[in-house]
Structure 1
Amino acid sequence: MLKLFFLVPLLLISVPVFLPLFHGGLAFGAGTKDGSEKWGYVEVRPKAHMFWWFYKSPYRVKDHSKQWPTILWLQGGPGASGVGIGNFQEIGPLDTDLKPRNSTWLRLADLLFVDNPVGTGFSFVEDKAQLVKTDEEAATDLTTLLKELFNGDQNLQKSPLYIVAESYGGKFAVTLALSALKAIEAGELKLKLGGVALGDTWISPEDFVFSWGPLLKDLSRLDNNGFEKSNSLAQQIKQQLETGRYVDATNTWSELEDVIIYSSNNVDFYNFLLDSANDPLSTTATELSTSVALKRYSTYLNSKRFSPDSNGDIGSLMDGFIKQKLQIIPESLKWGGQAGLVFTTLEGDFMKPRINEVAELLAKGVNVTVYSGQVDLICATKGTEAWVEKLKWEGLQSFLSLDRTPLYCGNDKTTTKGFTKSYKNLHFYWVLLAGHFVPVEQPCVALKILSDLTHSSVASA
């Protein structure tokens, strides 16, 4: 069993110390007096400002022969806030009640949260024309941010960086990894890339939409009529993708989700064992849209909270207490106020696959870890397995031929928590009884995966 990790909550109300500008004058930062936290803005392009928040782990090893890792967490959406959701609702030191999280990933690594793309969370653009339209543009911005943070910091340069992503963040992760590698090879970025982890990620939208109908039919959430409607729309999406009609494919995806919700009587897209009507996230078919999807994404996590007396309003937390703590957020900026625009601006890239980028990373020798929650629907394991089988990578057949190894957690060596298998630099984890948010629903297994990824041991509290 995981021991409770106590981080002094007073850190959150410490008066920040304002740090010097990073080289180039593009980054502005602040932090706590003890140096355990730093945060700030990087102007990644004129009028485009990206917010970051760095936590130094109190469990850093004193043996300097061991390289202590840094995790860059990339949220999904697109338009969901890593600084808010990933930090306070999933893996950061404190939850949304500002209480210590016993399963914080600080036990294994330093943590870097980024509100990506610009317009997400506390990141913002002064002109809507500066919002990114493609995953590659987002990767370029993130690479600019990494240059500002790493090139002038020798301590960060010694720490291998692992890019860990969830949901749509997976598409950002693989494009960023390739962009960063290019910058490293060119001598423009001083960074050690340790690997990439893709957790329930939207790498191949086509494979996911084709998984929904058969999966829900087998689970009795769809009848033949619902299955046929679902499959028909999935086929339409496939044709639209093949002919390059990507915005049409995004619109059809939204229509397909409407059909799934109606035909299944509101199955939860983040856990197919649940009804979304029993979740604060509940939406009707007519309400579902790209902008509503962001609300669904965050609010689902509120139902997983351990403090029943909490109001669970992360928006109020971020715009209130956290904004006051950080002291550098523009007064007029509302947390996530541009998120809907971020989603809409990326509608032409939303349904594009990134399978080839994963294969390219594997071919370059980058460690790629894939993990998938058993009861996730939006990025169902069935769809994840389908895109993995499409990888144009020399080790694929050897990987597929391997048997899986059961996963256990902690001192319990009898309860199966999942399965895993690895071949060379590809690693896959099947996580039982977890939905879309594995770090929340199976935190012990998530730490096990992270330990395997970073070759670090979980620190005891």
Structure 2
Amino acid sequence: MENFLLFSLSILLLNSLLHGGLAIAAKTKDGLEEWGYAPVRPKAQMFWWLYKSPNRVENPSKPWPIILWLQGGPGASGVELGNFKEVGPLDSNLKPRNSTWLQVADLLFVDNPVGTGFSFVEDTNLLVKNDEEAAADLTRLLQNIFTRNKNLQKSPLYIVAESYGGKFAVTLALSALKAIEAGTLKLKVGGVALGDSWISPEDFVLSWGPLLKDMSLLDKKDFEIVDSMAQKIKQQIRDGLYINATYSWTELEEVIQQRSNYVDFYNFLSKDTESGSSSSVTASRVQLSKKIALQKYSKYLISQRSTPGGSDDEQRDLMNDIIRKKLKIIPDDIKFDQQSDYVFQAMQGDFMKARIKEVDELLAKGVNVTIYNGQLDLICATKGTEAWIEKLKWEGLQNFQSKDRIPLFCGKERVARGFTKSYKNLHFYWILGAGHFVPVDEPCITLKMMTAITQSPALLSN
């Protein structure tokens, strides 16, 4: 705790200049942490937090990797959720996390898109409306961070995403590659990793009914109702009625929860059957649904921690009190929240759009694409992920599908914790026993996976 609070600020520009659209950054005395604001557009500031690994090795032949973590939502805070609840160096009780990915790479967390977490806009009209606009902002963020730090330019950047963050990841990777080719961004894209990612909403909603029926969570009558609603969503997507599809998606989730006694969309074997307040959903049903979902999201992550405690209010207080005091650059009028309803509302027209084409483009460009999925996830079920993979037009798909899977183990145990297979630059990991939040449910195998993805010099020989 003492080490966490001990720091020496190196302010580049005064806090009062933030609203003037200028960059501001700070770092700890030992230089292992940096954070700041990047002006991605006039009156739009994105917050970032970079941790440098204590295991960092300077080796020109095998450069040290950097992982950029992109949270989902859209509008969920990566600086809080991904950092303190999943893969960062400290958990929500500010205790060291034994399974932190910082062991094998530097970690860069962002509150993305603007309006999320500590990131902000001075006019809600500046909130992004789609994934491409979010990618453009993220590209400007990377330009801001990497341009002023030549040491970071030597490290390959791995864009790792969770949930809706997968759509951000593939659009960012293409935007970054374009900027690199134009000479406006100096970095190397090492690869993209899509964890339980919302790449094809159509395939996921179509997977829910069959999966839940196979698990005895729906019967034949329930399945027919659910499948009929999923087919309606499929048609709305095909007709380009994306906002209608978003509302229908919300209705489908509610019907599934009611008919399954409130299955947990993040782990369909979870015993938590708390129903929330879906009966009160009215005209603002999408907004309320996301709020309920985020409560479950946060509650699920808290329940998986090895240390007790941590209500939603306590987590919010952590960010608005202890973390704010540590960072010292957060404007007084910016109050942290785990999920921005405004961000989700602004993006609801893009929410149900697929990004399979972008994955194809990355594969065609030779970018390493890793897909990993938790066995027990429902919202981004493995069944749905496998369905959208089959839609890829990549020339190596048939060879990939013909490959045999390899079992994955942790330590000396010989019980399989997952399976993987690869062909050229496409890699897939099936993570057994994990729900939507794979690093939380299966930290050992996930850390091993990230070591392989990044080819990290730290633990690759272990």
- Provide the TM-score with structure 1 as the length reference: 0.94
- Structure 2 partner of 1:202: 198
- Structure 2 partner of 1:56: 52
Equivalences for residues 269-418 of structure 1 within 5 A: 269-277=265-273, 282-286=275-279, 289-311=289-311, 313-336=314-337, 339-412=340-413, 414-418=414-418
Superposed CA offset, 1:5-52 (max 9, x none)? xxxx43321234124259x98421111111110000011111111000
Superposed CA offset, 1:273-323 (max 9, x none)? 114426xxx524335613332333223211112112555731111111001
Give the one of 142, 149, 171 matched to 1:146.
142
Counterpart AA for 2:373: S
- Structure 2 partner of 1:155: 151
Give the C-alpha shift of residue 124 in structure 1. Answer: 0.9
Counterpart AA for 2:278: A
Contact 1:258–1:285 (CA under 8 A) maintained in structure 2: yes
Change (3 A) 1:73 1:230: same
Counterpart AA for 2:239: T
Secondary structure of the residue that 1:93 maps to in structure 2?
Answer: coil
Query: C-alpha distance in 2, partners of 1:357/1:405?
Result: 27
Contact 1:177–1:196 (CA under 8 A) maintained in structure 2: yes
Which deviates further from its counterpart, 220-229 or 263-272?
220-229
| Number of residue pairs matched by the alignment | 448
Secondary structure of the residue that 1:133 maps to in structure 2?
Answer: coil
Equivalences for residues 59-458 of structure 1 within 5 A: 59-277=55-273, 282-286=275-279, 289-311=289-311, 313-336=314-337, 339-412=340-413, 414-457=414-457
Give the C-alpha shift of residue 229 in structure 1. Answer: 1.2
Where do 5+ consecutive residues of structure 1 fail to align? 1-8
Which deviates further from its counterpart, 161-170 or 303-312?
303-312
Contact 1:277–1:283 (CA under 8 A) maintained in structure 2: no
Superposed CA offset, 1:55-87 (max 9, x none)? 010011254543000000000011110000000
Change (3 A) 1:191 1:331: same
Counterpart AA for 1:314: Q
Query: C-alpha distance in 2, partners of 1:275/1:256?
Result: 21
Secondary structure of the residue that 2:247 maps to in structure 1?
Answer: helix
- Structure 2 partner of 1:12: 4
Where do 5+ consecutive residues of structure 2 fail to align? 15-19, 282-287
Secondary structure of the residue that 1:121 maps to in structure 2?
Answer: coil
Which deviates further from its counterpart, 187-196 or 297-306?
297-306
Give the C-alpha shift of residue 459 in structure 1. Answer: 4.5
Counterpart AA for 2:195: G
Query: C-alpha distance in 1, partners of 2:73/2:296?
Result: 10
- Structure 2 partner of 1:5: none
Counterpart AA for 1:31: K
Query: C-alpha distance in 2, partners of 1:408/1:230?
Result: 37
Counterpart AA for 1:291: K
RMSD: 1.9
Identity %: 65
Query: C-alpha distance in 2, partners of 1:295/1:443?
Result: 22
Contact 1:89–1:301 (CA under 8 A) maintained in structure 2: yes
Give the C-alpha shift of residue 177 in structure 1. Answer: 0.2
Superposed CA offset, 1:65-116 (max 9, x none)? 4300000000001111000000000000000000000000000000000000
Secondary structure of the residue that 1:180 maps to in structure 2?
Answer: helix
Superposed CA offset, 1:262-283 (max 9, x none)? 00001000000114426xxx52
Change (3 A) 1:157 1:21: farther
Secondary structure of the residue that 1:18 maps to in structure 2?
Answer: coil
Give the C-alpha shift of residue 332 in structure 1. Answer: 2.0
Change (3 A) 1:309 1:25: closer
- Structure 2 partner of 1:6: none
Secondary structure of the residue that 2:273 maps to in structure 1?
Answer: helix
Counterpart AA for 1:58: P
Secondary structure of the residue that 2:385 maps to in structure 1?
Answer: helix
Counterpart AA for 2:416: T
- Provide the TM-score with structure 2 as the length reference: 0.94
